[in-house]
Structure 1
Amino acid sequence: MLFNIKKAQKASLALTMVIFACSTAQAQTTQPTWWFGVSGAANVISYTGTTQTLNSSLIAPAAFHKGNGVRPFGSILMEYRPSTVFGGMLNVGYDGRGGKFDNVIAPCNCEATLSTNTSYFTVEPSLRVNLISNLFVFAGPRIAFNLQKDFSYTHELQPNTDGEISEMRNTILSGQAGIGYDFPISSANSTTKVLLSPFVSYHPYFGQDPRNIESWSVSTVRAGLAVKFGKAGKAAAETPAVVVPTGEVEFTIVEPKSIQVKRVVSETLPLRNSVFFDKGSNAIPARYALLSNTAAESFKEAQLQQEATVSGSGRSERQLNVYHNILNILGDRLRANPSARVSLAGASNNGKVEGRVLADNVKQYLVSTYGINAGRIATEGRVKPVNPSEQPGATKELELLREGDRRVDIVSTSPELLLQVGGDMMMKPVQITNTQQNEMDGLVLFNVKGAEKQLKSWSLDLTDEQGVVQHYGPFYKDQGTVAGKTILNNRAEGTYQVVMTGESKSGLPLTKQGAVHLVRQAEAVEKGMRYSILFDFDKSNAASTYSKFLNDVVAPLITDGATVIVHGHTDVIGDEGYNQKLSESRAQETQKILEKALASAGRSNVKFQTTGYGENVAEAPFHNTLPEERFYNRTVIIDINPVQ
């Protein structure tokens, strides 16, 4: 593909926009006055004017007028920056200006071609002006000394000729102007500074006539990258400019309803509509419950509804056991609804053919084990699922993301099989009743709103009625948790005065006070309901997409005086800080939707205990070993505990 100056100007404009977009304020330190380095670039050349007399022995029968080319540029550079605004630059190096003229037709109706290989030793001093942050512009003269002046000429009725162009100027004086951006890539505390500087410049045709005869002229757009090194002095210590007022930090305590309560929970368990396959194998993984024909004949979905667990939350073991029966649940539902149909979409990073194999293996199990008519099950192969975890441009934790994309998705329009919740397709949920003791419900939540931004750290001192003090911390985020049974120790009940002590980032002390009352009810048993919202790996997928489900299904079950516990979680993929905020925002948004629905129904005396745990593995409802565990950890859990 041939280049022209208009395309080069567009590329120049695009690079300029990128540089502007990347302009962010940098922390100022003592910067070097002198910088040294190297640069490399591509010259995008445009030829105009007329060239016909190549040398004393060759005159082309037809004149050449326009042409283009791309040639290298390389230099050593030096910069002098006596101030933060003005400075000087000097580039000395090799400057390629060769190209190819557009072919012409000679009077003999014969095609003629002309290519040039011209280059210069160039000296380019410039005035440099910083605009904002590390964005700068520069302009100055260009002094070029000719190094090469070769040409190649072809014509059907003349012999091919390689030679030197005559009447070439030995010295060219012209001008250039450009824009660049200095990206610091060295440590802020290092005295050896290193900059990576993309730049683009324009060399107009003024003064760039390479010959003493004719009117051939050259215009150039140059785009490249420079690496600069400088030696800085030690920066003087700065006095903090901002003192954080203590009033900007808000301290609240959320105490659990009771400690160590056994709860009979009726849980609406969402079912992912996916079967995940192991890397390197097309067989359905052994962790999925695969029944014999005899066992399948007697299998009923209701068998999974009385999964009893009494240790911890029990949620991981209970839900995964049910989920790993997904093919048996699907087979049972297809058997009970003979008019229902499904589509199986297999996805594999190895290609559509293998994706189809995965889908066909699932189909074969349903046909051979449950006797489902093969005509009711369609299959297809894909490289990625419809809603993939791996997004374009992703570079981190790709192995984990691709594990989640190697799967077979089950799709159906039959409400007896699947349903749509918040725009996501899921298997129709299963109802589970079990007895559990949820340690998370016994946590005391200490919220210090603004701590992560305003404080270095904060700690807690809890003093009981006898004056015994317990110390917890330090904490560094906006929320800290302590198990209620740890605070109570062997006591059945206790009231504690709480003092939160912190230090602002400017070094000022901070103190806030509160109180908490805890009650142990070891033998108490209460009934509750649990709902979950599952999210795909998608930053834009917010709790508001489940508004209809929360308003129509969950909110009507929350009675006057009830306690609603909302926990947000994520998997371990991605930035820990981002995941923490994501889990908090989803949990808080869920609470707001429910509160609005309750207010519309005239119920305002409902107590919420809402928190986000991010990817905290100690609090996660599932492990993060299997892709299905990570999918189930992308969740908001809603526990409804009515007044007993």
Structure 2
Amino acid sequence: MLPINKIIPKAIIFLLVVIMAGTTAKAQTTQPTWWFGVSGAANFNIYNGTTQHLTNTLTTPTAFHKGNGVRPYGSILMEYRPKSVVGLMLNVAYDGRGGKFKDVVAPCNCPATLGTGASYIAIEPSLRLGGASGLYFFAGPRVAFNVNSDFAYTQLKQPNTNSQFSAIRKSLVSGQVGLGYDIMTSSAANVNKVSISPFVSYHPYFGQDPRSIESWNISTVRAGIALKFGKATKIITEVTPPPAAQHDFVFNVRAPLAAPLKRRVSETLPLRASVFFDEGSTQLSPRYITLTSEQAASFKETQLQDATTDMTGRSARQLNVYHNLLNITGDRLRANPEATITLTGASRAGRSEGTLLAENVKQYLVTAFGIDGARITTVGRTKPVIPSEQPGGTKELVLLRAGDRRVDITSESPQLLMEVGGGMMRPVQINTTQTNPMDSQVVMNIDSASQLLKSWSVDVTDDKGIAQHYGPYTRDQESIPAASILGSNASGNYKLVMTGETRKGFPIRKESTLQLVRQEEAPTVGLRYSILYDFNKSDATNAYDKFLTDIVAASIADGSTVIIHGHTDVIGNDAYNMQLSRDRAHDVQRVIEAALNKAGKTNVKFETLGFGEDAGNAPFDNNLPEERFYNRTVIIDIVPVK
């Protein structure tokens, strides 16, 4: 066996040869943080010191001093390698420290030999220092537990002795230093990493006295190879893309040449058959118009049909009709003595209070209009049949609950219902003057504005260079009354310049032109219909399908223009409400178009818009629950052939 001063250089040379054979690849993945594997090695053991007293009953005549041997080493291992150069290693191993002492001669001139199979279970934690090159160094303690203390002693003219050393230390604490090299055998792109790692380490004799008697000690040079496995992650290479082409915004303007600033309108106003009660009160709200029995005797629903007050964007006249709901109901019940109704009161305070709300409505109809109480059924509920507040909802509950504190009026008597069926209350006909009708609005559209622009504005300049500024806006669609642009002019040609800024800070500019002619009042009478939606609904009920087909579509002459505009209340997100209003408007157009095609009317122009909760175009304010309910609507304006 070679002496230690020759074994160590040869082991290091062996390791360097293996390292030179390894290759490195350009990483396309991260390096694993945790590695697991196995290792195998040869322990080159060097014995020094003295041993002679082998057992309690056997002492050799001549002491043994030096020796060596090669024994196997095998471990399971774990490594922790963070991104820094410092890491940790742990090996749990079978550690063979056996060998053979150099032969001696007893006084009887008898040759004697001594060999040992000493072995241990070793726990070897180490500090690991390494970088990206693969080369690493390690050092740490070794805690070993003896599992074999056998020896074999022979002496000429004496029987052979195979036994176990006495005074064997059950555990040893020593140390080691070493170096290794990780050679990756898996591809750079593979996340499943495999490494073959040759290594060499030196275990000095400090702490390696196998016995508690005498001076025998062991030094070891270990050389071997470890097989390691780790899980990496893909490196996402951030490639800076070339500058994206700026979105080519499309800016278009819709406006009629002849802008009617007023139009006589015959409107079919749906009745929202609900009476809303103020929080904390069970009495009829003073905003509802109530009559004495003498006044009720002369009340006729037809009194509400002719209106001299102009209809603006928010129609006080329509709301006035609705606030006569109890009087309209009383007049209809009085005119149709066979008709009956059901009043369903709803209150979060409980069914009894809901019944009280319904009874108070009944009491008014009985007292003011003389309706037989037997014709009116009252029901109490905690929530309406179709509530606004939904289970699990947490936002804007005050507004939603105000809409659910109400009495709903329903009937199965045909005298009170629309002739198209479906449970709709018969609407009220209103003849009035509409100011700034929808076909006089200048509607501006810029695609993707709500997603891509911080804001945008429009400058409108006439032939004389007089400019008007509108904005800033944030939505895809906005409208300006033609009357606002015309001012006192009878007509005008205008240049529209839209300017804005993208969310990335780039300016944009688009241009368009506009020609307007003032028309004080349209010579034709327009028709207006409305349908109402339940909270957060976008599809019309079957009853409205029949109404849209049999009533609305039937009143559209070939060649007409149909302007459909959807609206919502202010409850909910602005962008969501905008889309909801568009869905409602397009749902109505779908039903009407199908009916027109079936009737052979193909020369009808549609202009379908969604305004969401836009206060500038909302039919009503949003202060009262009935206003919010009436804002959940699609309005259909039929502009006949000029």
C-alpha distance in 2 between matches for 1:635 and 1:599: 24
Q: Is the 8 A contact 2:264 2:522 kept in 1?
A: no
Q: Is the 8 A contact 1:565 1:608 kept in 2?
A: yes
Q: State the structure with more CA Rg.
A: 2
**TM-score of the pair, normalised by structure 2:** 0.59
C-alpha distance in 1 between matches for 2:500 and 2:367: 65
Which of 628, 640, 644 lines up with 2:626 in the alignment? 628
Residue number in structure 2 paired with 1:219: none
Q: Is the 8 A contact 1:422 1:547 kept in 2?
A: no
Residue number in structure 2 paired with 1:198: none
Q: Is the 8 A contact 1:244 1:454 kept in 2?
A: no
Change (3 A) 1:399 1:456: closer
Displacement, 1:586? Answer: 1.5
Change (3 A) 1:578 1:397: same
Q: Is the 8 A contact 2:261 2:482 kept in 1?
A: no
C-alpha distance in 2 between matches for 1:276 and 1:381: 14
Residue number in structure 2 paired with 1:388: 387
Question: Could you list the per-position Cα deviations for residues 577-606 of structure 1 after superposition, in whole angstroms to 9, with x for gaps in the alignment?
Answer: 211221122223323433343344333333
**TM-score of the pair, normalised by structure 1:** 0.59
Residue number in structure 2 paired with 1:289: 289
Tell me, yes or no, if structure 1 residue 568 matches structure 2 residue 560. no
C-alpha distance in 1 between matches for 2:503 and 2:621: 36
Question: Could you list the per-position Cα deviations for residues 530-584 of structure 1 after superposition, in whole angstroms to 9, with x for gaps in the alignment?
Answer: 1001112134545887333222211121223322222221111111221122112
The letter of the residue matching 1:338 is: P
Displacement, 1:326? Answer: 1.2
Displacement, 1:280? Answer: 1.1
Tell me, yes or no, if structure 1 residue 304 matches structure 2 residue 304. yes
The letter of the residue matching 2:305 is: Q
C-alpha distance in 1 between matches for 2:352 and 2:482: 55
The letter of the residue matching 1:350 is: A
Unaligned runs of 5+ in 1: 1-32, 34-79, 89-236
Change (3 A) 1:348 1:494: same
C-alpha distance in 2 between matches for 1:465 and 1:375: 71
Alignment of 1:206-355 (within 5 A): 243=244, 245-247=246-248, 249-256=249-256, 258-310=258-310, 312-313=312-313, 316-355=315-354
SS at match of 1:610: strand
Alignment of 1:34-433 (within 5 A): 243=244, 245-247=246-248, 249-256=249-256, 258-310=258-310, 312-313=312-313, 316-419=315-418, 425-433=423-431
Displacement, 1:499? Answer: 4.2
C-alpha distance in 2 between matches for 1:544 and 1:254: 33
Which of 590, 594, 608 lines up with 2:592 in the alignment? 594
C-alpha distance in 2 between matches for 1:588 and 1:362: 37
Residue number in structure 1 paired with 2:173: none
Residue number in structure 1 paired with 2:479: 481
Q: Is the 8 A contact 1:457 1:502 kept in 2?
A: yes
C-alpha distance in 1 between matches for 2:413 and 2:547: 18
Q: Is the 8 A contact 2:257 2:515 kept in 1?
A: no
The letter of the residue matching 2:629 is: F
SS at match of 1:565: strand
C-alpha distance in 1 between matches for 2:499 and 2:358: 58
Question: Could you list the per-position Cα deviations for residues 289-324 of structure 1 after superposition, in whole angstroms to 9, with x for gaps in the alignment?
Answer: 2111122222221111112212634x5321121111
C-alpha distance in 2 between matches for 1:543 and 1:387: 13
Q: Is the 8 A contact 2:263 2:437 kept in 1?
A: no
Change (3 A) 1:517 1:603: farther
Change (3 A) 1:321 1:311: closer
Change (3 A) 1:294 1:81: farther
SS at match of 1:614: coil
C-alpha distance in 2 between matches for 1:255 and 1:626: 33
C-alpha distance in 2 between matches for 1:81 and 1:323: 76
The letter of the residue matching 1:552 is: D
C-alpha distance in 2 between matches for 1:450 and 1:420: 43
Which of 517, 522, 530 lines up with 2:528 in the alignment? 530
Change (3 A) 1:240 1:549: farther
SS at match of 2:430: strand
Displacement, 1:392? Answer: 0.3
C-alpha distance in 1 between matches for 2:329 and 2:389: 27
The letter of the residue matching 1:349 is: R
* RMSD of aligned residue pairs (Cα, Å): 3.2
Residue number in structure 1 paired with 2:611: 613
The letter of the residue matching 1:355 is: G
The letter of the residue matching 1:281 is: S
Paired-residue identity, %: 57
Q: Is the 8 A contact 1:316 1:621 kept in 2?
A: yes
Change (3 A) 1:454 1:441: same
Unaligned runs of 5+ in 2: 1-32, 34-79, 89-237
Which of 446, 449, 470 lines up with 1:448 in the alignment? 446
Displacement, 1:369? Answer: 2.1
Change (3 A) 1:379 1:239: farther
C-alpha distance in 1 between matches for 2:367 and 2:487: 57
C-alpha distance in 2 between matches for 1:574 and 1:391: 13
The letter of the residue matching 2:304 is: L
SS at match of 1:598: helix
Question: Could you list the per-position Cα deviations for residues 384-421 of structure 1 after superposition, in whole angstroms to 9, with x for gaps in the alignment?
Answer: 00000111011111111111111111111112113498
Q: Is the 8 A contact 1:499 1:513 kept in 2?
A: yes
Count residues in correspondence: 412
C-alpha distance in 2 between matches for 1:421 and 1:348: 32
Q: Is the 8 A contact 2:444 2:477 kept in 1?
A: yes
Residue number in structure 2 paired with 1:435: 433
Q: Is the 8 A contact 1:343 1:378 kept in 2?
A: yes
Displacement, 1:287? Answer: 1.6
C-alpha distance in 2 between matches for 1:82 and 1:516: 68
